[in-house]
Amino acid sequence: MWSVKDVYYVSDSTALLTEDMGKSLLCQFPEIGFNDEKIPFVRSISDAQKALERIIEQSGGLCPIVFCTIMDKQVRNVFDAAEVEMIDLYGGFLDVLERLLEAKALREPGFFRHSDDSKTNKRVEAIHYSLEHDDGQKTNEYGEADIILVGVSRTGKTPVSVYLATHMGLKAANFALTSDHLNAFTLPEDIVHNRKKVVGLTISAQFLHKIRQKRYPDSNYAKLSTCTNELKQAEQLFMQHGIKTLQTHGKSIEELSVQVTQLLGISKKKWRRQ
C-alpha cells in the first residue's frame, strides 16, 4: 500500500470541480497522504504535453494519479500515458446521457461555471460579507446575514463562516464571546435581535485547552479551568436566549457547515441557488 501519492487535478477550465470530485473519492483512503496540485486551463495538445512533462518530472516516475475533466478527446488522450494513472472523471458519462436523453451534450469547457453569472455574483457578495463581518466586525449589519456564528475563542467560527460563503453562497458573520460578555452574562443587542439566525458553537473543554495551549502555551487563556468556565458561561447564554448549539469537536468544516444550515432550517435548495 502507498503511504504517499502525488495527485494532479487537470482541467480545461478552473479545475475547481475536478478537485472537488477527486478529493471526494480520495477521502475514502484516510491512511494515505496525498500531495496534490491543480493544473487548470489545459485546452490544447501543446498545453497537455507541457502539463504531462511537468507532472512526470515532479513525480519522479512514481505513477502519479491524474484526475481529468478535459472535454476535448485529443487533448485528454495526451494524459493516457504509461507514466501516469489517468482517471477520466467524466468518462463515458456524457455518452450515456446523450443516449438516454436523445440529445447532444455541449461539451463546452467550464460551461457550468459561467452558465449563471447571478450565482457567481451572489457567492462573491457572500464572501465579501463574511470577510467584512469576521470576529465581531460591523454587528449593526447582522440583519443582512443568513447565518451568525457565536462562540468563545477558538471554537472554529471563522473557517466555518468562510466555507459557508465560498461553497454555499451564504452570508455568514461570526462573533467571539469575550470575558466582558461572559462575566456580564449578556449578548450584544445585534445578536439578540437576530437570534433566529444564530448558532452557538461549542466544544469540549479538554480539546479547547489543547488548541489554545498550542497557540499561547501556559497562559491563563489556555488553562483548562479557563476553558471550562468560558464554555459553561457561553452555554448558559445560549440557553437563556434560545440559541441552538452545535458541538464542533471531531467534525470537519464541511460537516459543521451542513449541520449549521440544518439547525437553522436553511434548505439545500436555497443555498444551492446561491
The long-range contacts involving 44-50, CB below 8 angstroms and separated by at least 24 positions, are: 44/75, 45/74, 45/75, 45/78, 47/75, 48/10, 48/75, 48/76, 48/78, 48/79, 49/78
Cα separation, 180 vs 261, whole angstroms: 29
List, for the chain, all residue ranges whose pLDDT scores fall below the cut of 70.
91-92, 108-120, 268-274
- pLDDT for 272: 53
CATH class of 117-272: alpha beta
Which CATH number describes the domain made up of 4-114? 3.40.50
CB 171 within 8 A of CB 128: no
Q: Spell out the residues 6+ positions from residue 163 whose beta carbon is closer than 8 angstroms to its own.
A: 253, 254, 257
- pLDDT for 270: 57
SS3 state at 138: coil
- pLDDT for 112: 56
- pLDDT for 31: 87
Q: What is the pLDDT of residues 29-48, one digit of tens each?
A: 888 899 999 999 999 999 99
CB 271 within 8 A of CB 227: no
- pLDDT for 207: 95
- pLDDT for 113: 54
- pLDDT for 89: 85
* Domain spans of the chain, in order of start: 4-114, 117-272
- pLDDT for 28: 84
CB 82 within 8 A of CB 52: no
Cα separation, 188 vs 195, whole angstroms: 11
- pLDDT for 16: 79
- pLDDT for 133: 94
CB 180 within 8 A of CB 188: no
Same fold: 4-114 with 117-272: yes
Cα separation, 150 vs 143, whole angstroms: 15
